[in-house]
Structure 1
Amino acid sequence: MVLGGILLIASLLTVGSLAAQEKVMNLETSAGPLRITGIGHGSLMLEFGDVLIHVDPYSGAGDYASLPKADQVWITHAHRDHLDPAAIDQIRKEGTLFVADPESVEKLGDSRVIAMKNGDKRNIDGGIAIEAVPAYNLVRERQPGVKFHPKGSGNGYVATFGDKRIYIAGDTEANPGMASLAPIDVAFIPIDGNYTMSPEEAVGCIKVISPRMVIPYHQFQSDPNVVAELLKGSGIEVRVWAMP
């Protein structure tokens, strides 16, 4: 969880240092086109057939009043920069489906919710298969003995759209479960270095997962170009998006 002021400063610093690419990706899957848009920070928007999905909506990352309403909202964990009630109020509509970790489900209240803990697998609306995978800190702590993201409290998600598998890591450090995630077509990996992995740590994690393509996100002041440089010659494509 971060303060809006910190995120704004990080945005100004990071965008100035990037040769950033357009934050939109179009993938062809066996079940039709998938479009992924980077909103900012850890926030994404996915469009698949007639289903529009917002992932970890956060007002500090984008203007949600100007974005399309959500058929689905996926929440990785309950920190405010991933579960933002103000952003959710701007994109929810009657019938919006929420997919979330148990702590976030409690905060969402009476919404149409699927609670998922690490290891759970579900088939959801739109012909999408989704699996909740571990996302946690092994080292970084809020205070001695208290991790920023304790094991079992939050999720990453591996979502299958036709023949394509997308990994949205959430807030995590490299963990042993990542070795079994393959095959992954596109991976979103955090690199901020304060609450999650540093760019250098993320490179080791990415090599273990071995996705076809990776997009470093949840950046703060960290430079995703570091990831791109360290992965040269690996065969893994790196997309550089400004996602502070």
Structure 2
Amino acid sequence: MNRLTWYGHATLGLETDGHHLVIDPFFEGNPVASTTADQVEADFILVSHGHGDHIGDTVRIAKRTGAVVISNHEIAIWLQKNGLEKVHGQHIGGGYRHTFGYLKLTLALHGSQLPDGSDGGNPCGFLLTANDGKKIYLAQDTGLFGDMKLIGEEGIDVAVLPIGDNYTMGPGDALRAVKMLQPQTVIPIHYNTFDLIKQDASAWAARVETETDSKVAVLKPGEQFNF
């Protein structure tokens, strides 16, 4: 069984095959975070891009836990310069078989400048094929793009999509994304952290379940979804 936890904003935890993954660990300064950087367990940390609300507490957590950090090449190099040794750089379209499964970096339409102004390379999402064969697509921060249809052809069990608008897809484009991805279940993220990205996730879920065959799991920060 795989267990996905939404910690708030775009920060997620994934337990799979005995491994603890944390995705975009933004705890300090996150007004809706359900736990803290000092409490979260992590064997691996996935960082989708360089913005402060996504790279967040990566260095702090990795130093405490010894987690391997997986991101694009530019962020991996930046993390090494900031004191981390256990990093693994990949790039969009490239996959690697980690101990927790086969992880491919996907396209994302966004920015990636790091907090100190350094080049954060290209932003990405993550397509994970877990060791039990389940497939989870973590879109993270992105606008809508047509190649989501190609990602959907993989056969997605769970898709995690932003719905907040302004910085990412809003509810309308996220619905279009679901229609292309055709996941069994979709989970909305990156909304209601701040007023600027306030959305009614329940209303969005009703639209998705009316217009598609996908089910929606609307989580509160700290809640989990098993698959």
- Aligned AA for 2:52? R
- Among candidates 34, 52, 60, match of residue 2 of structure 2: 34
CA distance in 2, matches of 1:114, 1:168: 18
Tell me how far 1:242 sits from its aligned partner: 3.2
- Aligned AA for 1:50? G
- Aligned AA for 2:157? D
CA distance in 1, matches of 2:26, 2:53: 5
User: Does the aligned pair in 2 maintain the 1:44–1:54 contact within 8 Å?
Assistant: yes
Matching residue of 2:24: 56
> Would you say 1:188 and 2:160 are equivalent positions?
yes
Tell me how far 1:226 sits from its aligned partner: 2.6
Matching residue of 1:102: 73
CA distance in 2, matches of 1:119, 1:91: 25
Per the normalisation by structure 1, the TM-score is: 0.75
- Aligned AA for 2:136? I
CA distance in 2, matches of 1:205, 1:34: 23
Matching residue of 2:96: 122
User: Does the aligned pair in 2 maintain the 1:83–1:104 contact within 8 Å?
Assistant: no
- Among candidates 114, 124, 128, match of residue 155 of structure 1: 124
- Among candidates 222, 230, 239, match of residue 207 of structure 2: 230
User: Does the aligned pair in 2 maintain the 1:75–1:83 contact within 8 Å?
Assistant: yes
Matching residue of 1:173: 143
Tell me how far 1:64 sits from its aligned partner: 1.9
Matching residue of 1:25: none
Deviations 1:211-239 (A, max 9, x none): 00000100131121232121133221001
- Aligned AA for 2:216? V
SS at match of 1:226: helix
Deviations 1:169-218 (A, max 9, x none): 01101112211112100000001111001111110111111100000100
CA distance in 1, matches of 2:141, 2:78: 18
Tell me how far 1:91 sits from its aligned partner: 5.3
SS at match of 1:73: strand
CA distance in 2, matches of 1:50, 1:121: 21
User: Does the aligned pair in 2 maintain the 1:57–1:84 contact within 8 Å?
Assistant: yes
Matching residue of 2:50: 78
Count of equivalent residues: 196
CA distance in 2, matches of 1:103, 1:226: 38
Tell me how far 1:94 sits from its aligned partner: 5.9
- Among candidates 29, 40, 43, match of residue 67 of structure 1: 40
Deviations 1:122-148 (A, max 9, x none): 00123x0001000114xx9xxxxxxxx
- Residues 95, 125 of structure 1: CA spacing in aligned structure 2 closer, same or farther, 3 A cutoff? farther
SS at match of 1:100: strand
Tell me how far 1:73 sits from its aligned partner: 0.4
Cα-Cα RMSD: 2.0
User: Does the aligned pair in 2 maintain the 1:174–1:197 contact within 8 Å?
Assistant: yes
CA distance in 1, matches of 2:65, 2:137: 28
> Would you say 1:208 and 2:170 are equivalent positions?
no
User: Does the aligned pair in 1 maintain the 2:2–2:17 contact within 8 Å?
Assistant: yes
CA distance in 2, matches of 1:91, 1:65: 11
Per the normalisation by structure 2, the TM-score is: 0.80
CA distance in 1, matches of 2:168, 2:183: 19
Matching residue of 2:114: none
SS at match of 1:98: strand
Deviations 1:84-125 (A, max 9, x none): 14x541454464211102332233114311111110110012
